[in-house]
Structures are given as structure tokens and as C-alpha cells.
Amino acid sequence: DEKEKFEPTVFRDTIVQGLNEAGNDLEAIAKFLDATGSRLDYRRYADTLFDILVAGSMLAPGGTRIDDNDKTKMTNHCVFFADEDHDAIRNYAQVSKG
């Protein structure tokens, strides 16, 4: 019985790339996340997925982002970069709930 490797950085790169390719269309982002969910193990990488959807990249203990300002490892399609109004935040929450 071979154990599957735990590779959160590979997961992050796949999710971030898809989010960035979806552009500013929250419906396209939701469709990407829905389609990718059948290929990637969201339960196994739940913390990483949450970090990306809220902060835009993986977070280290203490809350600093682990992306070294590399734009290919971060996305602006997250709660932290959303407009600061109720409707915008609610729309991101709807995407996250899937």
C-alpha cells in the first residue's frame, strides 16, 4: 500500500493558476473550482484552499504569506483583495461555499 505524497505547493500552484486564468468573472472562478474539485483532493488540502480563497496564497504559521512575491504563486481573486463592501464579500463567500 503506497501512501500518496502531501504536496500543498503543487496544489496551490494549480489552484492559483486556474483562478488567475478565470479573470474577474466570479462565475468562471466557481466553475473552475467545481470542475477541479473532482480532480484534486479538497479535503486533504482544505487549509491550503482556505488560505488561497481568503488571503490569495498559502500562509505560514503566524499568518505571513508563502509566495516570495512571486505572482505565479498568488492570486488577487480572494477576500483580502475584494472591494470593501458587503455585496463583494458576500459574492466571494458564495464562490467559496460552492
Q: Delimit the domains of the chain by residue range.
A: 6-79
40-95 pLDDT, tens digit each: 989 999 999 999 999 999 999 988 888 888 889 999 988 888 888 888 888 877 77
Global pTM? 0.83
**Dist. CA 46–CA 50, nearest whole Å:** 6
Q: What are phi and psi of 10, to 5 degrees?
A: -65, -45
Contacts of 41 (CB under 8 A, 6+ apart): none
